[in-house]
Amino acid sequence: MADKKNPIGREEYQAALEHIRSKKEEYLDIMKRLVAQPSISARGEGVEECAHLLLEIMEDLGISARTLPTRGFPVVYGEVGSGDFTLLFYGHYDVQPPEPLEEWISPPFEPTERDGRLYGRGTGDNKGQLLCHLLAVHSYLQVRGDLPLKIKFILEGEEESGSPHLAEFASENQELLAADLVYTSDGPLHESGAPAIYYGVRGMLALEMSLQTAAGDNHSGNKGGVIPNAAWELVKILSSMKDEQDRVRVKGFNDQVRPPTAKDQELIRNMDFEPEQIARNFGVEKIDLEQEDFYWRLTLQPTMSINGLSSGYQGQGTKTIIPARASAKMDCRLVADQDPPEIFELLKQHIQGMHPGVQVTRQGYMYPSRTDPGLEVCERVLQAVQEATGEKPVALPATGGSLPDYVWTRILKQPSIIVPYANADEDNHAPNENLSLDCFYQGLEITARVIYELSR
Contact 195, 445 (CB under 8 A): no
Express each pLDDT in 370-389 by its tens digit: 999 999 999 999 999 999 99
Cα gap 54→39, rounded to integer Å:
11
Angstrom CA distances, 295 to 17, 119, 278, 393, 396, stand at 35, 31, 12, 16, 8
pLDDT at position 30 is 98
State how far the Cα of 147 lies from the Cα of 84, in Å rounded to an integer: 11
Tell me the mean pLDDT in the region 30-36: 98
Residue type, 59: E
User: What letter does residue 422 receive in the DSSP assignment?
Assistant: B
Residue 100: cis peptide before it, omega within 30 degrees of 0:
yes
* Res 281: pLDDT: 78
Q: Is the pLDDT of residue 24 over 80?
A: yes
pLDDT single digits (tens) 276-308: 988 887 889 999 999 999 999 999 999 999 999
Beta bridge partners of 78: 65, 153
Domains and CATH numbers, the chain: 10-201+368-455 (3.40.630.10), 203-261+299-366 (3.30.70.360)
Contact between 110 and 92 (Cβ < 8 Å) = no
Mean of pLDDT values over 164-171: 96
pLDDT per residue over 101-154, tens digit each?
Answer: 999 999 999 999 999 999 999 999 999 999 999 999 999 999 999 999 999 999
pLDDT bin (cut points 50, 70, 90) of residue 94 is: very high
Tell me the percentage of the chain whose pLDDT exceeds 90: 93
Whole-angstrom distance, CA of residue 114 vs CA of residue 130: 21
- For residue 362, list its beta bridge partners: 207
- Alpha-carbon distance of 62 to 85, in angstroms, equals 20
Contact 133, 185 (CB under 8 A): yes
76 exposure class (CB count in 10 Å sphere: 0-12, 13-18, 19+): buried
E strand map for 397-441: 416-418, 434-436
Proportion of the chain above pLDDT 70, given as a percent = 99
Res. 314 pLDDT band, cuts 50 70 90: very high
What is the pTM assigned to this prediction? 0.90
Residue 192 has what pLDDT? 83
Calculate Rg over the CA atoms of the chain.
Answer: 24
The alpha carbon dihedral of 104, 108, 113, 119 has a sign of positive
Residue 1 has pLDDT above 70, yes or no: no
Q: In whole angstroms, give the CA distance from residue 47 to residue 127.
A: 13
Please state the rounded mean pLDDT for residues 221-246: 95
pLDDT tens, residue by residue, 172-197: 999 999 999 999 999 999 888 899 99
Q: What is the mean pLDDT of the chain?
A: 95
- CB atoms < 10 A from the CB of 362, how many? 16
pLDDT of residue 4: 58
- Tell me if 212 sits within 8 A of 444, measured CB to CB: no
Identify the pLDDT of residue 277. 85
Confidence at residue 19, expressed as pLDDT on a 0 to 100 scale: 98
